[in-house]
């Protein structure tokens, strides 16, 4: 998935939106809300956590807050006797299971018919789970590079009863995870606290950015869907992240409840299509160019700061 300096970016974004965090909440008069959604379900063992231990740790962190997440599964990662039972644990604990395509390919570069069949192949694998729901999340949040490609897929989704599993808070936890795992390869006993701190700061900065942007574009708060990944980083620190949101006054909500917000029926008419739904609606409004970068999130926006911190 996924040129400005990090700290400068934060200041510019807040100024351009014309409101700080406190004034945004005051104007809306409502507590910010966030649901957890996770992508991919890539499974592998590491010295820090085996795949099974990581899966249990993420589930236990959610259970600790009585929170039901949405897991967007790419079938190629779990279509075997070893890994599919780990998905079943999510189903048994009542978490929403959803479609992230079977092969996890860019839609922008794909043949439509092959891509459509890939979605249906994944559905055939996942529909055995009682909490499977017909939500589709596009890999890399890319929903079509032309209007024709975008609209053809939207028609396919309507025909097959799918809703878009939109993200409102996009972020780059996958990149922080990549850097953390690189460190563990060379220094298995490394202190991981700086990676935890960077991760929490990064997610909080992106959450407040998209929350402020939503309030500016829509005139209200929304039930946010946060994009995370089933990775080592979240196996270690998801509990810390959830506690952070609570400590800062946000309400944790179940993913299926979040998707009842009418916001998620939106279909922004932009090309290329995709990114955070809040980003796309701001782009469609045509008034927020100063705070919108493309892609919305990527490693390029985090690399220099992580390098400077020695992470």
pLDDT digit string, tens, across residues 132-150: 999 999 999 999 999 999 9
Average model confidence (pLDDT) across the chain = 92
How many residues would you count in the chain?
311
Q: How far is CA 12 from CA 28, 32, 86, 203, in A?
A: 22, 22, 43, 18
Q: Give domain limits for the chain.
A: 6-308
**What are 29's two structure tokens?**
């008069």
> What confidence tens digit (pLDDT) does each residue in 177-230 have?
999 999 999 999 999 999 999 999 999 999 999 999 999 999 999 999 999 999
State mean pLDDT over 93-120: 98
* pTM, full prediction: 0.90
Give the ranges where the chain is alpha helix by DSSP (H): 6-17, 21-28, 51-64, 84-92, 112-126, 147-159, 173-186, 193-218, 232-247, 255-258, 277-285, 303-308
Superfamily of segment(s) 6-308: Glycoside hydrolase/deacetylase (3.20.20.370)
Question: Is there a contact between 97 and 134 (Cβ–Cβ < 8 Å)?
Answer: no
Residues 223-252: tens digit of each pLDDT = 999 999 999 999 999 999 999 999 999 999
**What's the pLDDT at 52?**
96
pLDDT score at 15 = 38
């Amino acid at each position: 998935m996924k040129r400005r300096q990090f700290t400068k970016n934060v200041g510019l974004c807040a100024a351009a939106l014309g409101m700080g965090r406190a004034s945004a909440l005051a104007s809306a008069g409502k507590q910010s809300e966030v649901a957890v959604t996770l992508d991919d379900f890539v499974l592998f063992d590491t010295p820090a956590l085996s795949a099974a231990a990581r899966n249990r740790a993420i589930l236990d962190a959610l259970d600790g807050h009585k929170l039901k997440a949405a897991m967007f599964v790419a079938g190629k990662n779990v279509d075997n006797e070893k890994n599919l039972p780990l998905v079943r644990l999510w189903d048994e604990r009542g978490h929403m299971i959803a479609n992230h395509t079977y092969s996890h390919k860019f839609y922008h570069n794909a043949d439509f018919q092959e891509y459509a069949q890939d979605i249906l192949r994944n559905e055939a694998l996942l529909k055995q789970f009682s909490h499977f729901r017909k939500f589709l999340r596009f890999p890399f949040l890319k929903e079509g590079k032309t209007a024709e490609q975008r609209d053809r897929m939207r028609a396919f989704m309507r025909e097959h009863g799918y809703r878009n599993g939109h993200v409102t808070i996009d972020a780059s936890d996958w990149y922080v995870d990549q850097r953390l795992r690189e460190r563990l390869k060379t220094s298995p006993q490394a202190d991981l606290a700086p990676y935890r701190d960077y991760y929490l700061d990064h997610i909080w900065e992106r959450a407040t950015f998209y929350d402020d942007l939503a309030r500016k574009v829509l005139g209200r708060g929304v039930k946010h869907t946060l994009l995370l990944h089933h990775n080592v980083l979240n196996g270690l620190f998801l509990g810390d992240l959830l506690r952070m949101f609570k400590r800062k006054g946000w309400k944790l909500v179940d993913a299926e409840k979040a998707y009842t917000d009418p916001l998620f029926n939106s279909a922004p008419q932009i090309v290329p299509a995709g990114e955070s739904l809040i980003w796309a609606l701001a782009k469609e409004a045509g008034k927020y160019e100063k705070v919108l970068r493309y892609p919305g999130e990527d490693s390029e926006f985090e690399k220099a700061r992580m390098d400077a911190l020695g992470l």
